[in-house]
Structure 1
Amino acid sequence: MVTSEGTAVPAADRKRPRGLGVFLRSQMRNIAPFLTLICLSGFFAAASPSFATLDNVGNILTQVSVTGIIAVGLTFVILCAEIDLSIASIANVTGIAVAYFTQQEAYVNIANIPMAGWAAILLALTLCALLGLVNALGLTIIGIPSFIMTLAMMQIAAGISALLVRGQIAYKVPDVVTTLGSSSIGGVPWIVIVAALMLLAGHLVLTYTRFGRYVYMVGGNREAAEYSGLNVNLILGSVMVISAVCSGIGGMLGVAHFGSAQQNEFDTYLLDSIAAVVVGGTSLFGGRGGIGNTIVGLFVLGVLNNGLDHVNIDSFLKILIRGLILLAALVINVYAQRFRARTVE
């Protein structure tokens, strides 16, 4: 390295720590969500005695479970510096599909034996995986940007939902889905356990597997990943399918949790899932973050939504506050990326 005066800087000086301030700025993307969570928790605990209770903690965990399941797959996508706008629609169509296939038991059978609930589940999961595969092919083979491809898929999935439900509301789903979506074991809702297991599985894959390292490589420097011989298109296609399957699982359990399957039931989960990933500190530019960040983001959103209900904030103001917090997270994300680029230089 050479200074502006043309003199060389010793390697030892280049590697010398630059101080606490520089470290804090470099870790701003990870520190800010924790500080936000602490501040929100402290504020709502002081503003409402009913907020800081064990029962309410359980409520928060239950409320963020469906979002958490969907956000697992979205984390993989964003780590690759891509986006998936079809997650809510795929969740919705999968939830409707599992209810639709379950209701066809009286018509789809062999020798008057009703179709098992597992068949309805497998058909619904196959549908969401196929939709994810279409996203993958559009992105990697045709070359359509993920924003546009998944925007189109959002409409396609919504259209399939409309065809299946035809303005009606379906209630019957397989027993196992009902159990996982709306029952508890030892006082702990099954949906919370499923969300925790999926978040753990996502963390283990990203942290300890070769595929996880490839995801970070593709998101960190796609050109370098290609030069190293990595099949970038295969990784990108895989994360799109993973995102769709996670959305489908969230959709099925969400239908059981809500008690019915109907059109546009999951529309709010698009913003919630993106916010959970981004607010938690995963970089929109790829290669930085992970499931741990997503978990923090989930708690920030869960505490915020639940706390606003406890202090009786206007519902319209609640939407505004959520948007402002997401905007703040985006600003931090962008500035953290710029600071990282300057530090590397």
Structure 2
Amino acid sequence: MASSDSATRPADHQRPRGLAPFLRSQMRNIAPFLTLILLSGFFAIASPSFATLDNVGNILTQVSVTGIIAVGLTFVILCAEIDLSIASIANVTGIAVAYFTLQESYVNIANVPMPGWAAILLALALCALLGLVNALGLTVIGIPSFIMTLAMMQIAAGVSALLVRGQIAYKVPPLITTLGSGSVSGIPWIVIVAAVMLLGGHLVLTYTRFGRYVYMVGGNREAAEFAGLNVKLILGAVMVISAVCSGIGGMLGVAHFGSAQQNEFDTYLLDSIAAVVVGGTSLFGGRGGIGNTIVGLFVLGVLNNGLDHVNIDSFLKILIRGLILLAALIINVYAQRLREQAAD
């Protein structure tokens, strides 16, 4: 994770000396690890069935769709923006791939159902288009990302409603079925896809010029502009990346759940934001990365899975998740203040 922060790391002579200053400066990274360790230890003691290899596999599977969506959201938050449309875009893409799979091609005289690869490409094109609308609203018109993506959340939900019309679709292309619900050597394909996408996001942010630009835009937008970066292009790109990642998560999620229906992904908005923020990526931009998101995913996965093992009331489970997110936000803001004080 240290490599992801290299673009915004202070010079050696500016680094805090002594244990206490170091711990304060690294609180954003240390707190999620401590939370993960404490939660894992507590649930392992409270329930013997928690600390098993089978349950580790369950946790990985449970967080896979969230992890795929959170990859793109990490790019957005690193730029000090937000995308509230991720769950709706995931939902409309999942519904769209099922819808296109069932539809008959208007240009096909033989009236043969649309090929699976065409349904996948059309669904991906739809989520990319919605992401592009977000990008244009943010960078060309100047609508704040919070408001723009809030509107897109409603637009995508409306498209979902029009496509599904209260019905439930079950058929998706064979490739999506395999990746969403199949396995290889006992390992679910959806876990492998999530791991590949998380790794790809980490490599892009850590080793590519575009990744450095993302950190620069999030760390100091004015300085990035003075350095000659096309800030609007970077912001637009991360919004499209977020939408495409959400679309991929939506398609695989539909196959994993076994059906496509309206409002199926509503809970993934909070889960994805929580994974990124709980992991320690700064809401103010420029700090964090995919490594932090992975830690946040495990924190949420262990928390949700562990609460099921100790038979906590479902309503109390929602409250606990909210308190964990609030604690992460407080740490995030406090870490930003410490950073500003150190800079002064």
TM > 0.5 fold call: yes
Contact 1:94 1:252 in 2 (8 A): yes
Change (3 A) 1:298 1:17: closer
Q: Are 2:66 and 2:272, in contact at CA under 8 Å, matched by a contact in 1?
A: yes
Mapped contact 2:91–2:265 kept (Cα < 8 A) = yes
The one-letter code matched in structure 1 to 2:34 is L
- Name the Cα RMSD after superposition: 1.1
| 1:39-70 superposed Cα distances (whole Å, 9 cap, x missing partner) | 00000000000000000000000000000000
2:9 equivalent in structure 1: none
- Deviation string 1:113-171 (CA, Å, 9 cap, x unpaired) is 43210000000000000000000000000000000000000000000000000000000
Given that 1:108 and 1:115 are in contact with CA atoms closer than 8 Å, whether structure 2 keeps it comes out as no
Gaps of 5+ in 2: 1-12
Partners of 2:165 and 2:21 lie apart in 1 by: 57
Aligned residue runs from structure 1 range 145-224, under 5 A = 145-224=144-223
2:46 corresponding residue in structure 1: 47
Alignment match, 1:133? 132
Query: Following TM superposition, by how much is the alpha carbon of 1:18 offset from its aligned partner in structure 2, in angstroms?
Result: 2.9
Aligned amino acid, residue 65 of structure 2: V
8 A contact 2:87–2:267 mirrored in 1? yes
Question: What is aligned with 1:5?
Answer: none
Distance of 1:337 and 1:166 partners within structure 2: 45
Equivalence for 1:60:
59
Partner of 2:231: 232
Partner amino acid, structure 2, of 1:317: L
Amino acid in structure 1 at the alignment position of 2:305: N
User: Which amino acid in 2 is paired with 1:119?
Assistant: A
Within a 5 Å distance, the mapping from 1:110-125 to structure 2 comes to 110-125=109-124
| Larger CA Rg, structure 1 vs 2 | 1
Q: Distance in 2 between matches of 1:16 and 1:29?
A: 16
Call closer, same or farther: CA 1:38–1:230 in 2, change over 3 Å. same
Give 1:19 deviation, angstroms.
1.2
Deviations 1:248-294 (A, max 9, x none): 00000000000000000000000000000000000000000000000
SS for the counterpart of 1:284 is coil
From the superposition, tell whether residues 263 and 227 of structure 1 become closer, same or farther in structure 2 (CA, over 3 Å).
same
SS at match of 2:243: helix
Superposition pairs of residues 284-299 of structure 1, within 5 angstroms: 284-299=283-298
Count matched residues: 332
AA partner of residue 74 (structure 1): L
Q: 2:102 matched to which residue of 1?
A: 103
CA-to-aligned-CA distance 1:47-94 (integer Å, 9 cap, x gap): 000000000000000000000000000000000000000000000000
Shift of 1:15: 5.1
Distance in 1 separating the partners of 2:160 and 2:335: 40
Q: 2:98·2:169 contact (CA, 8 Å) conserved in 1?
A: yes
Residues 101 and 113 in structure 2, CA contact (< 8 A), matched pair in contact too: no
Letter aligned with residue 322 of structure 1: R
**Displacement after TM superposition at 1:17 (Å):** 4.7
Distance, in Å, in 2 between the alignment partners of 1:333 and 1:17 is: 19
Q: Distance in 1 between matches of 2:15 and 2:110?
A: 77
Residues 254 and 260 in structure 2, CA contact (< 8 A), matched pair in contact too: yes
Distance 1:275 1:110 in 2: 49
Question: Could you tell me how far 1:108 is from its partner in structure 2?
Answer: 6.1
CA distance in 2, matches of 1:253, 1:287: 30
Distance between the aligned counterparts of 1:243 and 1:64, measured in 2? 17
If the length of structure 2 is used for normalisation, what is the TM-score? 0.95
TM-score, length-scaled by structure 1: 0.95
Report if aligned partners of 1:108, 1:114 keep a CA contact under 8 Å in 2.
no
Partner of 2:311: 312
Distance 1:127 1:258 in 2: 21
Distance in 1 (CA, whole Å) between partners of 2:87 and 2:14 is: 46
Equivalent-residue separation in structure 1 for 2:107 and 2:53 (angstroms): 46
CA contact (8 A) 2:28 2:280 kept: yes
